[in-house]
Structure 1
Amino acid sequence: MNRQFTITIDGMHARLQAQTRAAQHEVAAGQVLLQVDAASLNYRDLLTLQGAASGAARDGLVPLSDAVGTVLAVGDGVQGWQVGDRAIPNFFPAWIEGRFDPVHLQNALGGGNTDGVLSQRLEVPAQSLVAPAAHLSDEEASTLPCAGLTAWHALFERGPVMAGDTVLVQGTGGVALFGLQLAAAVGARVIVTSSSHVKLERARQLGAWATIHYGETPAWDEQVLALTDGRGADHILELGGPDTYDRSIRAVAPGGRIAQIGVLSGFNARPDIQPLQFKNARIDGICVGSVAQLRRLNQFMAQHAIHPVIDRVFDFEDSPAAYTHLASGQHFGKLVIRL
C-alpha cells in the first residue's frame, strides 16, 4: 500500500488528510519509481494549502515539491538509474536545461493540478532526477529542489557572486540561509536581516559578515549603505515583497542586481524602479531552476561540504504539524518530513 497526504477541500476550508492507496508496481517507459525517504516544506506549500479552497490547488492534490528517494524500479528506456540509487526530483520536471518556458509552471510538483511528493511512492520522469551530493543525509538532500536551487539560481546562474562581493539576504528562511551559506563559501560578505536577535546570532555562526535587526533599525537600507561605505549590496535576495522592495532598490549597489524571489509581505509590489536606471542596476526574476542547475548545485555543495540548515524533522504522521510550525514563523532553516 502507498500512504500519502492530500489536500482535502471542504467548502471554504482546506486541510491535509492521510490517504492509503494501492501501491504501484509497473513503471511507464522513461519513468522511475521512487520510495520517498524525506520531503521538505517551502513557503509556497503553505500558500497552496491556504489558497486551495479559492482555487490554488485541486481537491485531492498531493502537496510538496521537495524530496529525496531511493529508486525502486525503472521503466523501459531509462538509462543512468538503477534500483537502490538515491535521487532528487526537480521542482520543474520538464525544465532540463536552457531557457525557461512558462509551460513549466503548469507542471511544477505539488501545485495546481500536479501531484507532489508527500507520498511513500512516487513515479517521476527519469530526466527530472539528479543524484544528491553523497555527504548529505536524506533529510538534508530533501531541502534542495526549491529553496536551495532558488538561491543557487539567483546567486550563481544569474550572478555570479564572487569573492569580495556584498550580498544582502532578507530573513532566515530556507532560501535566505541557503543564500548565506552558498555566498559565504566563495568569500562574499553576507549581510542578513531579521527581527530576532537569536536568529541573527545563529546567522553570524553560519558565516554572516554583518547583521541588521530591522525591528530596531527600520531603515535597514541606510544601514546597508553605512556598512559598505555608501556603495550598497552587489546582490540582494529580495524575499519580502511590497514591504521591502523600495528599500532593496535604495540599498543595491551601482551595477548591482536584485533577485526577485519572495512574497512574504504579499504580492503585487509596485516599487519606484527609476533609481535602478541611474545605478545601472537590474532586477532578475527567479523561479526555482532547471535540472542542470540542480545538478550544479549538488556539485557545489559537495565541493564545499555544505550542509543545509534544518530546524526540525517531523514524522510522516505529523505532517500537519509541520505546516503549523511553518506558519508560526519560528523556524530557523528547513522543516523536513521523514517518510
Structure 2
Amino acid sequence: MKAFIVPARGGLDRLTLTDLPDPGAPGAGEIRVAIHATSLNYHDLLVANGAIPTEDGRIPMADGAGVVEAVGEGVTAFRVGDHVVSCFFPQWQDGLPHDEAGSFARTPGDGAHGFAAEYVVRPADHFTLAPTGWRHEESATLTTSGLTAWRALVVEGQLKAGDTVLALGTGGVSITALQIAKSMGARVIITSSSDEKLARARALGADEVINYRTEPEWGRVAFQLAGGHGVEQVIEVGGPNTMAQSIQAVRIGGQIAQIGVLTGVEGTIPTAALMGKQARIQGLIVGNRRQQQQYVSAMNQTGLRPVIDKVFPFEALPEAFRYQESGEHFGKICVAW
C-alpha cells in the first residue's frame, strides 16, 4: 500500500511516499479501514518538519477518515461500509483527563503510526462514526481541530446563548468555534491580520471583527465590543505573545481556552491582571472519544459543515504542508484520495 513516512530528523523535503506491506485482516476487536482523507493541523506540521522528533519511518497525520472494509471478531459498533473517523487520544475513551490523556505515545502520527496511508487495521474503539453525509475530507477535520473547538466551548466553557466568544485567527479551530458558537446563539468576535479573511468571517456570521495589525490593542477593543464588560470565552491559539491581550479581553469570571502555541511555548503572564479578572485559563488538548461522539451527534443535528480552504491529492502532502506554513489558508487544509 502507499504511505508517507517521516525520517527521524523530519523535514518537508524528506517526506517520502513509499510502498509498505498491506496491514491485512483485522483481528479480534479490530477493524480494517480504507483511509480516504486526512486534514492538516499544527501538530502534524511539527512532526513533519522535525520540530517534534519521532521514530524513523513514522507514518504521519493524526486525522483519518474512511470506510470500514472488514470487522474482527467481537466488533459490534461498526459494520462493513460504515464511514468512520479516527480519535486523537485512542487511550482516552471517556471521563476526566488522566495520566495517559496527555501522552502522545499512542497518538496517531506522533507516538504511533498515523493516517497518511491507504489502509489501517486498528482497535475498533480508536474510531467513531463520521457525521452522516459528510465527505471524507470533511470528516477528517473533526478529529483534532473540530473536537478541540467543541470541547473548549461546550464541554469546558459551558457555552450558552447570549455569550460572547473571542476567537483568535481564522485557522481550523477558530473557524469551527465561530460556526459552533453561532449555531448555539452566541455572539462571536474574530481577529486576523487580513481584511479579506475578516470579510469571509463576517460572511460566516462573525458579529465583530478586529484586524490585530491595525489595532494592536485588540484585547481592549474586544472588551468594549462585548458590551463593555468583556467576553465570556476566548479561543486562545497564540500562546505567550497573545495571552496578555486575551486576559484584557475576557470578562470577570470568564474563561480562556489555551489550545495553541503559535507564538511560542513559554512567556510572561500578567498574573495581577488575571487575578483581577478572576478568570480561568483552561489548557486543553483535543478531547476524548465520548466527547467526539457527542460532537458528531451535534453536527448531525445542526447540519453544520466544516470550512475547507483547499484539498490536495495524496501525493501532494508535502505541498499541502508548505501551503499551511504560508498562513494563507482560511479554515482547514485537507488531503484526499
Fold conserved between structures, TM > 0.5 = yes
SS in structure 1 opposite 2:22? Answer: coil
Structure 2 partner of 1:142: 140
Displacement of 1:12: 8.3
Are 1:7 and 1:14, in contact at CA under 8 Å, matched by a contact in 2?
no
Judge conservation of contact 1:89–1:124 (CA < 8 Å) in 2. no
Check if 1:6 corresponds to 2:12: no
Aligned match of 2:121: 123
Q: Is the 8 A contact 2:87 2:128 kept in 1?
A: yes
The whole-number CA distance in structure 1 between the counterparts of 2:289 and 2:12 is 35
2:53 corresponds in structure 1 to 56
Provide, for residues 126-179 of structure 1, a one-character-per-residue CA deviation record: whole Å limited to 9, x for no partner. 112111111311111110000000000100010111111010000000101011
1:29: Cα distance to partner? 1.7
Cα shift at 1:101: 2.0
Residues 233 and 151 of structure 1: CA distance in aligned 2, closer, same or farther (over 3 Å): same
CA distance in 2, matches of 1:108, 1:157: 21
SS in 1 for 2:64: strand
Could you say which residue in structure 2 is the equivalent of 1:253? Answer: 251
For residues 254-303 of structure 1, the C-alpha deviation after alignment (integer angstroms, 9 at most, x for no partner) is: 11000011111111133112323232211111110011101111111111
Cα distance, 1:14 vs structure 2? 6.6
Secondary structure of residue in 2 paired with 1:130: strand
Q: Which segment drifts farther, 122-131 or 178-187?
A: 122-131
- In 2, Cα distance between equivalents of 1:126 and 1:13: 31
| Partner amino acid, structure 1, of 2:78 | W
Please name the residue that 1:43 is paired with. 42
Partner of 2:283: 285
Question: Which residue is 2:320 aligned to?
Answer: 322
Distance in structure 1 (CA, Å) of the matches to 2:218 and 2:81? 49
Aligned to 2:100: 103
- Whether contact under 8 Å (2:233, 2:254) holds in the other structure is yes
Q: Is the 8 A contact 1:194 1:214 kept in 2?
A: yes
1:207 counterpart letter in structure 2: G
Structure 2: which 5+ residue stretches go unaligned? none
Residue 83 (structure 1) aligns with:
80
Give the deviation of 1:51 after TM superposition: 2.4
Contact 2:10 2:48 (8 Å CA) reproduced: no
> Could you tell me the TM-score, scaled by structure 2's length?
0.96
**What is the match of residue 178 of structure 1?**
176
Q: Which amino acid aligns with 1:7?
A: V
1:240 to 225, 229, 238: 238
| Helix, strand or coil at the partner of 2:191 | strand
Percent identity over paired residues: 40
Deviation of 1:9 (Å): 4.0
In the TM superposition, 1:257-336 aligns within 5 A as 257-336=255-334
In structure 2, the CA distance between the partners of 1:205 and 1:89, relative to structure 1 (3 Å rule), is: same
Verify the 8 A CA contact 1:31 1:124 in the aligned structure 2. Answer: yes
Equivalent residue of 1:29, what SS? coil
Return closer, same or farther for 1:34/1:224 CA change in 2, 3 Å cut-off: same
The Cα shift of 1:13 comes to: 8.2
Counterpart of 1:24, as a letter, is P
SS at match of 1:184: helix
Which runs of 4 or more aligned residues in structure 1 lie more than 3 Å from their structure 2 counterparts after TM superposition? 9-14
Q: TM-score of the superposition, structure 1-length normalised?
A: 0.95
Deviations 1:5-33 (A, max 9, x none): 01024698872100111212221221111
In structure 2, what residue type is equivalent to 1:3? K
Give, in whole Å, the separation in 1 of the partners of 2:199 and 2:10. Answer: 44
- 1:85 is displaced (CA, Å) by 0.8
> 1:239: Cα distance to partner?
0.5
- Residue number among 90, 94, 106 corresponding to 2:91 in the alignment: 94
SS in 1 for 2:14: strand
| 2-structure distance, mates of 1:176, 1:25 | 39
Q: Which amino acid is 1:144 matched to?
A: L
Label 1:14 to 1:278 Cα distance change in 2 as closer, same or farther (>3 A).
same
- Shifted more, 126-135 versus 245-254: the winner is 126-135
Deviation, 1:232, is: 0.8
What's the offset of the Cα at 1:94? 1.5
Q: Which residue does the alignment assign to 1:25?
A: 24
The alpha carbon displacement at 1:245 in A equals: 0.4
Unaligned 5+ runs, structure 1: none
Q: Note the aligned Cα RMSD (angstroms).
A: 1.5
State the alpha-carbon separation in 1 of the partners of residues 185 and 130 from structure 2: 24
* Partner amino acid, structure 1, of 2:75: V
2:63 alignment partner, one of 62, 66, 70: 66
User: 1:159-215 deviations in whole A, cap 9, x for unaligned?
Assistant: 111111010000000101011000010110000000000100000011101000001
